[in-house]
Structure 1
Amino acid sequence: MNKKIQLQDLGHKDYKDTWDYQEELFKEIVDLKIKNRREELNDETPNYFLYVEHPHVYTLGKSGDLSNLLLSEKQLADKGATFYKINRGGDITYHGPGQIVGYPILDLENFFTDIHKYLRLLEEAIILTLAEYNIFSSRSEGETGVWLGVGTPFARKICAMGVRASRWVTMHGFALNVNADLGYFDNIIPCGIRGKAVTSLNVELGVEKVNEEEVKQKILKHFTDLFEAEFENS
């Protein structure tokens, strides 16, 4: 079992280009697994973790409702945003500057074969990271992601999650609002959930800007511990 994960920070990158790149890495792992089974080999499968920041974009999961996008094509263009219907779980979400997006492309057979556990550990990595900023966050029953103020009238989401898995290989991942422009969330019903707000770490801390590189390192530290993994820069 290969618990080494190749870390790649893609910087500021177009959503579609990143999605295509994810698909390439995903296919590489799946094809190797098929070859291993067909030819009775035991070649080690790689794991990847991509960090990226996208230009303004809205994405709709395969089971999502298009009516949760509240903009016309012209309004999207006017806001400098794009829209894609994609192959992850979940409904609609927004990605943009000031948001840390993480795409773990893992062969879960290197770790454990449990998608539910995988999602819970992704959430836990974010919950532990926010705790380092003295922000208490938690899960909301039946709603994937990380929330603040659960059980109060002020429940608000700080991290959205949506994944795809096939043959125990994952893609897509999480989006943590760190210095995000929350106005862009007004154009959707985030994750198809009405009546709940969205927040960002800088808003919760009452500061203009949070050091995003520092947040990334904290996430990796907790991810390493939770998955008993080892990161390598590639």
Structure 2
Amino acid sequence: MNEVVNKQTKFIDLGLIDYQEAWDYQTNLFNQTVALKIENRKKEAADQKPTPNYLILCSHPHVYTLGKSGDQANLLLDEKGLEEKHASFYKINRGGDITYHGPGQIVGYPILDLDNFFTDIHKYLRLLEEAVILTLADYSINGGRIEGLTGVWIEGDKPEKARKICALGVKSSRWVTMHGFAFNVLTDLNYFQNIIPCGIDDKAVTSLEKELGEKPNLQEVQNRLKNHLIQLFGFSLTEN
């Protein structure tokens, strides 16, 4: 573990950004942090540099991404179908199966050195879920979990009614994280009909807009979510 603990976290709002561009961006930050940790281990404690943390929020044009443990058969479109839907497709290096990203969705990529917080990947996932659950509660919506499945669900205790509102998929190396979560706020849910989301074929997908019956303010939702992440992780957030 690093001798120097740093909870200072840089907040980066990338707005609507191409998936590949965002993937390259977070990969660069991830690789730099891992490299710094490796260098630190060669040094005395007094000479070690604190590792940085980043909280990236953004959204993407229509895109389907398949995790390393996923099955491409869960994508129900061929190349022509992707073109017709103006969507792209990537096989990526996170956990999990297939998911969709698109406009009106809040995508979070925390690039954290968990040595600065806690070294427990399950706790990390649960706190990401909790931030979304608390955000839903701000809108009087009861979100929760389903045992054995990641993500945040509505009516998860009723198998015939359970619907996912936030998907999770992460990668970590030397306790540094990348990838993250996708929270459906104003998302066009029709795009989920072209996949078997996360490889689960018996559960529906929903959005905050659908649950509320009206359009929430996306920026307000993002701000509430960010504040819950700050409280749960104890971030000291900087925005410069």
The one-letter code matched in structure 2 to 1:185 is F
Tell me what 1:16 maps to: 20
Which secondary structure does the structure 2 equivalent of 1:38 belong to? coil
Which secondary structure does the structure 2 equivalent of 1:150 belong to? coil
Mapped partners of 1:97, 1:228: distance in 2? 29
Does 2:180 match 1:176?
A: no
Matches within 5 A, 1:1-234: 1-40=5-44, 41-152=47-158, 153-207=160-214, 209-234=215-240
For structure 1, the 5+ residue unaligned runs are none
Using the size of structure 1 for normalisation, the TM-score is 0.98
Mapped partners of 2:24, 2:227: distance in 1? 27
For structure 2, the 5+ residue unaligned runs are none
* Cα offsets for 1:20-42 (capped at 9, x unmatched): 01110001100111111123332
Which secondary structure does the structure 2 equivalent of 1:39 belong to? coil
The one-letter code matched in structure 2 to 1:119 is L
Instruction: Count residues with an aligned counterpart.
Output: 233
> How far did residue 151 of structure 1 move?
2.2
> How far did residue 225 of structure 1 move?
1.1
The one-letter code matched in structure 2 to 1:193 is I
Runs of 4+ in 1 over 6 A off after TM superposition: none
Which secondary structure does the structure 1 equivalent of 2:177 belong to? strand
Using the size of structure 2 for normalisation, the TM-score is 0.96
Determine what percentage of the aligned residue pairs are the same residue. Answer: 64
Mapped partners of 1:194, 1:46: distance in 2? 39
